Amino acid sequence: MKVMVIVKASKGSEAGEMPSETLLREMGKYNEELVNAGIMEAGEGLHPSSAGFRVKFSGDKRTVVNGPFAETKELIAGFWMWKVNSMEEAIEWVKRCPNPMIEDSELEIRRVFDTGDFAECDPTGELREVEHKLRERTQQKK
């Protein structure tokens, strides 16, 4: 199962506060453990929402909104993509994570859809096959 672990933004991360050298070392060690265990597929931190944009969709209309965005609790500051055997395994790994922020913080774990999850929407399997081929091409480019 593939999961995304979302690092929720904080007032500090939205203010652009950078982590300490100690925290960078702790997170580096943690990421190394994830890689050695064959769990981590990707992971990145994000710049504050003040450097971001949102595109709102309404029918054919697209509206671009510049950051920053007001509700810090709804923003993300980073993420990991993990391959785990179960949600319980993901939870156990998250509990081992150093606090990724200077202040109190929160991580969210969300399961990523797999092409098999769309069998009901794609009874012939044609669309899932196209998606599978696209994923293979993406992996080959890496």
Residue 45, pLDDT score: 96
What's the whole-number average pLDDT of the chain? 93
State the average pLDDT over residues 40-66.
97
Residue 70 has pLDDT above 90, yes or no: no
The residues, ordered by sequence, that sit 6+ positions from 110 with a Cβ below 8 Å of its Cβ are: 3, 4, 6
pTM, 2 dp: 0.88
Residue of 41, 37, 42 whose CA lies nearest to 92: 37
Residue 88, pLDDT score: 98
**C-alpha torsion angle, residues 22, 34, 118, 125 (rounded to 10):** 130
User: The domain 2-49+76-111 is classified under which CATH number: 3.40.309.10, 3.40.120.10, 3.90.660.10, 3.30.70.1060?
Assistant: 3.30.70.1060
Residue 139, pLDDT score: 82
Residue 142, pLDDT score: 72
Residue 87, pLDDT score: 98
State the average pLDDT over residues 37-55.
96
Domain map (residue ranges) of the chain = 2-49+76-111, 114-142
Task: Report pLDDT digits (tens) over 82-124.
Answer: 999 999 999 999 999 999 999 999 999 999 998 888 888 888 8
Beta bridge partners of 109: 5
Instruction: Tell me the C-alpha distance between 47 and 127, whole Å.
Output: 35
